[in-house]
Amino acid sequence: MGWFLTGTLVGPAFGPFLGGILVTCSTSWRSIFWLQTGLAATGVLGVYFVVCETAHHLKINDLKSLSGKKRTLKVLGMISPIRVLRLFQFFNIALVAFGSASLTWNMYSLLTPVRYVLNPRFKLDSPLLSGLFYLAPGFGYLVGTFGGGHWADMMAKRWIKKRGGVRIPEDRLRSTLPFMGAIMPGSMLVYGWSVDREVGGIPVPVIAMFVQGVAQLFCFPSYNTYCLDVMPGHGAEVAATNFFARYLVGCIASAVVLPAVEAVGIG
What is the extent of the structural domain holding 214? 2-264
Integer CA distances (angstroms), 131 to 20, 89, 127, in order: 5, 41, 6
Task: Give the CA dihedral 232, 92, 159, 188, nearest 10 degrees.
Answer: 120
User: Contact at 8 Å (CB) between 193 and 204?
Assistant: no
What pLDDT was estimated at residue 178?
92
pLDDT at 81: 83
Instruction: For residue 12, report the phi and psi dihedrals to the nearest 5 degrees.
Output: -60, -20
What one-character DSSP code corresponds to residue 200?
A: S
Question: Under a CB-based contact definition with an 8 Å cutoff, are residues 176 and 219 in contact?
Answer: yes
Domain count, the chain: 1
**pLDDT the model gives residue 5:** 64
CATH code: domain of residue 251: 1.20.1250
What does 90-122 look like in DSSP terms, one character per residue?
SHHHHHHHHHHHHHHHHHHHHHTTHHHHHHHHH
What element of type H or E holds 254? helix 235-264
Angle of CA points 92, 96, 97, to nearest 5°: 115
Q: What are phi and psi of 261, to 5 degrees?
A: -65, -40
Contact partners, residue 196, CB within 8 Å, separation at least 6: 265, 266, 267
Distance CA(86)–CA(82), nearest Å, equals 6
Report residues of the chain scoring pLDDT below 70.
1-7, 9, 13, 55-57, 60, 267
Query: Hey, how many other C-beta atoms are within 10 angstroms of the C-beta on 65?
Result: 8
